[in-house]
Amino acid sequence: MTVTVSASGLTLRYGGTRALDDVSLSLRAGVTGLLGPNGAGKTTLLRVLATAVPADGGSFTVLGHAPGSAAGRQNLRRTLGYLPQNPGFHPDFSAFEFVDYVAILKEQTDRTARHREVRRVLDAVDLSDVRGRRLKRLSGGMRQRVALAAALVGEPGFLVLDEPTVGLDPEQRVRFRELIAQAGEGRTVLLSTHQTEDVAMLCHRVIVLACGRVRFEGTPAELTARADGRVWSSAARDPGARAGWRTGAGTFRNVGDPPKGAELLDPTLEDGYLLTLDDPDGAAPAQQGEAAA
């Protein structure tokens, strides 16, 4: 599959802190999950890729457009759909007006075509019935869907979603998963999230970022596989485990290096993620495998 977004050696400092430290990645069509703890640099990476902030070093291209020149940045922005972490809203605008406004800022100039497109994306996020309602009268979940519609308007080739499901109830999260899955058909989506379930269910690729560095890049299955043979059950919390918690069944689920004879459990993507964060050398087997290939 063709690489649509590629970054090489991206570096960004905030004062003395390295928010991004030599980040390289390549994305293809479909949904790529971006996992990482708070402060890992996920939002910073997305803001750099969305051209909201320039990187101190390194380079990247989106669909062949590099942001180095004003013209390149403009062309890149024309291919971009961006849903920031805390998108603001104009409370007195209706859902239709807000998305229409964003469509204009995306240089959609033909009024008839633009309005058709706005109706299409509002329909896609299931907000057709409330498109005339002012944003201040919509629920948080509905407003988040309006923001997604605004990101989708104009059929951008690269969609950047920064924790879009934060604050949503389970039903809304499921609805959002559907929308993101649809959005990922035929376009490149980079989805930053804390929800490993979202990544497991939506993403064909996953990137783990920690302390501004890429700690893993591969498929969700490869990330899960990192925990093969490293999850076990015990009657009490194993002091040698890197993480352990009591399950609903009353036994403890431990993650780490199991003792001999331990009752091994099937790992989840979350287990692989936890172990990747704890991996002191930051080795990324999937990448190494890719390099070998």
Partner 1 sequence: MSTTTMPPAPEVTRPPADGDRPWAAVLALARFEARELLLNIPVLVLLVLYLGYTAYGLVAAEQDGMTDYPVLQNADRASQTAPQLVALAVLLCVNHAVLRSRRHGTDRHFGVLPLQPWRRTLAHALSAVPLAGLVAVVVGAEFAWAASKPGAVGHGSLFELVVAPLSVLLAGVVGVLLARLIGSAFAAPLFVVGLYVLLAVFSIATSGSDPHWLRWLSPVVPESGGDPLPSGLLGRPAAWHALYLVGLTVALLCGAVTASGRRTRTVAVVTAAALAATAAGIAGQSPGDSRDLAAARETASASPETVESCTVRGSVTYCAFPEWSGRTADWAAVVERVQHLAGDRRDRLTVRQRVEARYGLTSDAALTALSGPGQVTVGTAWGGNRIPEFAVGVASVLVAGDEQAASAVCDARAVTITWLALAAQADPMSAFVHVRLDDRTEGSGLVLAPTDPLGMSAGETAMVRALLAKPREVVSAAVRAHWAELTSPKTSLARVAQLLDVKAPEKEDSRDACEA
Q: What is the contact mask toward partner 1 in residues 184 to 223, using x (rule: CB under 8 A)?
A: -----------------------------xxx-x------
Distances (CA, A) of 44 to 26, 176, 183, 209, 212: 17, 23, 23, 11, 9
What is the C-alpha to C-alpha distance for residues 224 and 29, in angstroms, rounded to an integer?
Answer: 22
User: Any contact of residue 142 with partner 1 (CB under 8 A)?
Assistant: no
User: Any contact of residue 100 with partner 1 (CB under 8 A)?
Assistant: yes
**CB 205, CB 1: distance < 8 Å:** no
> CB-wise, 116 or 246, nearer to partner 1?
116
Candidates 86, 139, 182, 219; binder of partner 1 (CB under 8 A) is 86
User: Any contact of residue 288 with partner 1 (CB under 8 A)?
Assistant: yes
Give the range of 32-40, 97-105, 256-264, 273-281 binding partner 1 by CB under 8 A: 97-105
CA angle, 27 as apex, 212 and 210 as ends, to 5°? 15
- Pick from 268, 196, 214: nearest CA to 40: 214
Helix (H) or strand (E) holding 187: none
Nearest distance from C-beta of residue 98 to partner 1, angstroms: 9
> CB-wise, 79 or 192, nearer to partner 1?
79
- Pick from 274, 180, 184, 189: nearest CA to 224: 274
Nearest distance from C-beta of residue 104 to partner 1, angstroms: 5
Candidates 17, 39, 54, 90; binder of partner 1 (CB under 8 A) is 90
User: Any contact of residue 59 with partner 1 (CB under 8 A)?
Assistant: no
Q: Which residue has the tokens 């964060």?
A: 277
Candidates 110, 171, 266, 281; binder of partner 1 (CB under 8 A) is 110
Helix (H) or strand (E) holding 61: strand 57-62
Candidates 13, 18, 37, 101; binder of partner 1 (CB under 8 A) is 101
User: Any contact of residue 50 with partner 1 (CB under 8 A)?
Assistant: yes
Candidates 32, 51, 165, 254; binder of partner 1 (CB under 8 A) is 51
Structure-block tokens of residue 5: 């977004």
User: CB-side exposure of 198: number of CA atoms within 13 Å?
Assistant: 29
Candidates 3, 221, 236, 264; binder of partner 1 (CB under 8 A) is 3
> CB-wise, 58 or 141, nearer to partner 1?
58
Continuous H helices in 63-191:
70-78, 95-105, 111-124, 140-152, 170-183
What is the C-alpha to C-alpha distance for residues 176 and 223, in angstroms, rounded to an integer?
Answer: 23
Chain contacts with partner 1 (rule: CB under 8 A): 2-9, 21-26, 50-52, 61-65, 74-75, 77-80, 82-84, 86-91, 100-102, 104-111, 114, 154-155, 157, 213-215, 217, 282, 284, 287-288, 290-291
